[in-house]
Structure 1
Amino acid sequence: MPLLSRVSRVLLPAVLAASVIGVQAADAPLVKAWLTVPAGTQRLSQVAVQSSSKAAGAVAIDVDTGTRYQRMMGFGSSITDASAQLMQTALSPSQRAAFLSRMFTRKDGGLGLSMTRITLGASDFSTHDYSFDDMPKGQADPTLAHFSLAPDHQYLIPAMHAVQAVQPALRTIASPWSAPGWMKSSDSLITGHLLPKYQSVFANYMIKSVRTLRQAGVPVWAITLQNEPAFEPKNYPGMRMPGKTRAQVIGKYLGPRMAASGLHTEILDWDHNWNHPEQPLTVLRDARASKYVAGVAWHCYEGDPVAQSQVHDKFPHKQVLMTECADGEWEPAKSGGAVWLADRVVLEPIRHWAQAIVLWNLALDPQHGPHLGGCDTCIGTVTIDPANGHVTPMNGYYALGHFSRFVVRGAVRVKSSRAAHGVANVAFVDPDGTRVLVVINRAKSQRKVQVAQGGTHFGFAMPARSLATFTWSD
């Protein structure tokens, strides 16, 4: 097959908002490219692909579609109480329709998000603390007679209905930040641990949450037992739940009851940072619990994504998901922007077996809320201004978009060259055979790359600290 050197185009300058499509020789594959340069004006901008003639000093990226790894589930962002409230109150009906299409479909360049995460009860991004079965101090409700989804009917459930209307294949992960206070040592949603006498009741609470949400039109694809179980926040709901306790609750109560429930809801363990891989290993090594655990959920705030491979290597048949990471006004996120977020939170986790990436907070307002406690410097995937309904894409939008617009559910990660000279990459084959390659230039200066896959060869000059996606078909 003739090389793309028969066509000669140069990359448009980074200062231009390029819209030039990929170029094609008479009998060569069409290679398309999209570029984000945070220091310039290009954001997911379609640009021209350069020729295949080798440039001196170019970083070689070889893609081997015959060596295959994990199958991808999708990409998304969490619909917290804050996000749901903004979606339902800050947007007019026409603005909401446009927002939903832009985020959850691929029409007109939409992101095509197909995953989300919701909270079972309050998180730090709620306007008040609540569970689905709150009781006065000193009182308990072991039969869950007072269980109610009433807090979710105002914003969350209508928001989820709206999302599911445009993205019927949505997969929803649900996580509690705390058991009801009366089940805990603190008799409060704040701090404390689950009392052993309520382990069985908590399992029933989880199943009732999933069943009642389904009856309300919100099917839950997977649950985690506890958000960040190794952390007890002081000003918003949380609960410490070590690995041995999680294994006990899953293996003895939740797992068997969920399997018998007919709800077909997966159970994911951990839902916390990379710095403690021994925590999910404790649960997976428990024979009684492990058979009910579909996979491990990870957060990005401490440690390194190599932890995902450490656990995957020991339990290769378990799913691997990134279920939370926030952009924010802290380093290195603040200075790294969309490129750092795409690298650290999307590309590297995928190279360490992640099948899904879900960011934290689909939408926040310009004051990083509404929220009650916890993170006051977190940034949503988009910002929605309640004053006028204006939607501003943030770093997470572009970090996700370079993957979610092109890597569809069922795509398979394939082998590609390791990072070199500040250039990282990850490659996929979509179910229709389309090749997708995401390349990140971490360096402070331009890097030329030379890509080869079968009979397809092309070059590209990656601007300093930039992010690009390439697609082609044989």
Structure 2
Amino acid sequence: MKRNKLLIILISIGMMACNSKDNSLLVDVYETSAAGNKLQKIEASENTKADVEIRINPDEKFQEIIGFGGSFTESTAYLMNQLGKENRKQILDAYFGENGARYSLTRTHINSCDFSLSNYSYAPVEGDKELKHFSIDEDRDDIIPMIKEAMVVSKDGFKIMSSPWTAPVWMKDNKDWKGGKLLPEYYDTWALFFSKYINEYKKEGIDIWALTVENEPLGNGYNWESMHYTPEEMVDFVSKHLGPKLKADGHDVKVFGYDQNRDELNEWADIMYKDEESSKYFDGMAIHWYASTFDYMPEALQYTYAKAPNKMMIQSEACVDAEVPHWNDDAWYWKKEATDWGWDWAPEEQKHLHPKYVPVYRYARDIIGCLNNWVQGWIDWNMVLDTQGGPNWANNWCLAPVIVDPKKDEVYYTPMYYTLAHFSKYIRPGATRIGFELNDEELMVTAAQNPDGSIAVVVLNMKEEAKEIKLALGEQESSFRIDAQAVQTIVIHKEK
């Protein structure tokens, strides 16, 4: 009899242990914080007094995620050439390796841009309408080798979006690198230019996934390479020239319109997506974040999605203006001290959109805000810059997630690098954004289910106090603490 009682007790304890195990989510938690964590793995807790609850709803599905990453610019690739082999490899591993950020979506420029060493075009010969002298030789010393090395490092591969800042000056009405418009007599030549670019890169073993028609078609105040389009002009060029040419030449490449700030996105959506004829060659809209340091403009993103739910949105460029000598001070990236172009240059009625800001918050807040409003990919600007924020022929200094001093062969990974990795490393291409419920308005959250079934939840805590969180999925849950001023990624694994 006593033996039976003992057996019953042991069975009961075993069942309780099983139930306890069954009720716990299998999670890995990674944190980057102002206190010094850098993608640090932290342990889940048994805290039952969590004030914050995040409930994941995987049955509520939204957009597919294309990827996250940064840009191959001439400035970045040139600096990589100045480093020793060990540091060069370390950076490529940090961005593309399995133990690094695993970048999956990238961008590069067609012809020169502000982050080039000088002005150049692949078609320098004036009047060469058939582009017989077209050549990508300018890219062979820097951009092309860097892309190829990244391809070797990347296990899953990555997509490349290419954008022109301007056509060759001889095709433009002002015959200048800055501003002006493409002359109608060269519309077909400029369309041929894109086709040749894709072909020449393909010969190098590099596939171009997507094109944007023009970087910042509204201009940049004539400060560096640019070429202006109205929405109507861009639609005309794409629908009658670029789209048909790419199709005729057999290019399976995506075409994105606009490629500038979200504050004028609605107007472009209205015209690009006016009807089947205007939109048929556009695969989506490319956008930038420079209209505001804090407002990710969800209304414009929602409006654009509603206008064309079958088209994509890709955030194609973002960066922090350079703040010398703060570049290697971790603490600075967590303080509200950074300023952007609008701090000095914005019209008075737009000044409120450009206050001082916290760089880490700006990145994490914008990525989360974009994902929660139908954006499918997010691309940072330069991957590597020097301690001044260049090199840059236009003296348009900016920061990058990785800063190098080529003279000393030194490398500094800023907190922005780790912030971006919270998304790129754990939310993989082909993931689907899923629903969640959150009872704390002070946190920002997004969630996505990866193709392998794992779920990545990214949490941003901008408050100066830590928070205790309970994460729930169905009947299972896990508790953990997010530090003050921190970004956290929780990976929920499938039960084995």
- TM-score > 0.5 by shorter chain: yes
- Equivalent residue letter for 1:78: S
Q: Which residue identity lines up with residue 134 of structure 1 in the other structure?
A: P
The residue that corresponds to 2:408 in the other structure is 388
Q: Give the CA deviation at 1:396.
A: 2.6
Runs of 4+ with >6 A deviation = none
Q: Does 1:164 align with 2:151?
A: yes
- The verdict on how the C-alpha distance between 1:232 and 1:172 changes in structure 2, with shifts beyond 3 A counting, is same
1:29 aligns with 2:25: yes
Among candidates 289, 298, 303, match of residue 287 of structure 2: 298
**Matched AA of 2:94:** R
Task: Map 1:350-361; keep pairs closer than 5 Å.
Answer: 350-361=371-382
Question: In percent, how many aligned pairs have the same letter?
Answer: 28
Q: What is the Cα deviation at residue 156 of structure 1? A: 0.9
Matched, 1:174 2:162: yes
Query: Structure 1: how far apart are the matches of 2:45 and 2:122?
Result: 57
SS at match of 2:470: strand
Aligned residues: 442
Q: What is the match of residue 3 of structure 1?
A: none
TM score, norm. by length of structure 2? 0.85
Bigger shift: 261-270 or 454-463? 454-463
The answer on whether the counterparts of 1:359 and 1:396 sit within 8 Å (CA) in structure 2 is no
Distance 2:355 2:143 in 1: 28
* 1:75 corresponds to which of 44, 50, 68: 68
> Counterpart in 1 of 2:272?
283
Structure 1 partner of 2:328: none
Match in the other structure for 1:440:
460
Judge conservation of contact 1:341–1:395 (CA < 8 Å) in 2.
no
Pair member with larger Rg: 2
Tell me what 1:11 maps to.
none
Give 1:21's aligned residue.
Answer: none
The one-letter amino acid of 1:462's match is I
Partners of 2:67 and 2:85 lie apart in 1 by 27
Distance 1:64 1:228 in 2: 38
The residue aligned with 2:104 is 114
- Aligned CA RMSD, in angstroms, stands at 2.0
Q: Which amino acid aligns with 1:155?
A: D
Aligned to 1:78, the other structure's residue is in SS state strand
Task: Give matches, 1:246-261, under 5 Å.
Answer: 246-261=234-249
Alpha-carbon deviations, 1:347-380, whole Å to 9, x = none?
A: 111111111111000100111111111521x111
SS at 2:358's partner residue?
helix
Displacement after TM superposition at 1:88 (Å): 2.1
**Alignment partners' CA distance in 1, 2:95 and 2:316:** 18
Alpha-carbon distance in structure 2 between the residues aligned to 1:244 and 1:374: 32
The CA distance in 1 between the partners of 2:226 and 2:262, in whole Å, is 19
Say yes or no: does 1:142 pair with 2:142: no
Partner residue of 1:102? 94
1:403-462 deviation per Cα after TM superposition (whole angstroms, max 9, x unaligned): 111111111110012583311100111111111111111223333332211122123332
Looking at structure 1, the residues matched to 104 and 400 of structure 2 have their Cα atoms a distance apart, in angstroms, of 17
Which moves more between the two structures, 207-216 or 69-78?
207-216
User: Where does structure 2 lack aligned partners over 5 or more consecutive residues?
Assistant: 1-15, 324-337, 340-353
Query: SS of 2:41's equivalent?
Result: strand
Deviations along 1:201-234, one digit per CA (max 9) or x if unpaired, are 1111111111112112221100001001011442
Distance in 1 separating the partners of 2:110 and 2:60: 40
Q: Any idea what SS the aligned residue of 1:251 has?
A: helix
CA 1:134/1:36 → structure 2, altered by over 3 Å: closer, same or farther? same
Distance 2:158 2:474 in 1: 34
Equivalent in the alignment of 2:44? 49
- The equivalent residue for 1:415 is 435
Separation (CA, whole Å) in 1 of partners of 2:439 and 2:379: 24
Q: Distance in 1 between matches of 2:416 and 2:189?
A: 38
Amino acid aligned to 1:96: R
Give the Cα separation in 1 of the matches to 2:93 and 2:232: 43
- Aligned equivalents of 1:94 and 1:463: distance in 2? 34
Secondary structure class of the residue paired with 1:417: strand
CA shift at 1:286, angstroms? 4.6
| Residue aligning to 2:333 | none
Distance of 1:60 and 1:396 partners within structure 2: 27
- Taking the aligned partners of 1:63 and 1:184, their CA distance within structure 2 comes to 53
Kindly provide the CA deviation profile for residues 233-290 of structure 1, in whole angstroms up to 9, marking residues without a partner as x: 4232111111111101110011111122222111011111110111233112253241
Mapped pair 1:270 → 2:266: no
* Contact map agreement 1:305 1:352 (CA 8 A) in 2: no
Q: 1:314 aligns with which of 307, 310, 321?
A: 307
Q: Structure 1 residues 76, 447: CA separation in 2 closer, same or farther (over 3 Å shift)?
A: same
Q: Distance in 2 between matches of 1:468 and 1:124?
A: 34
Shift of residue 132, structure 1, vs aligned partner: 1.0
2:80 to 62, 84, 87: 87
Distance 1:59 1:432, change over 3 A: same
**Secondary structure at the counterpart of residue 178 of structure 2:** coil
User: Structure 1: how far apart are the matches of 2:241 and 2:147?
Assistant: 29
Indicate which of 382, 386, 392 corresponds to 1:365: 386
Q: Which residue of 1 aligns with 2:358?
A: 336
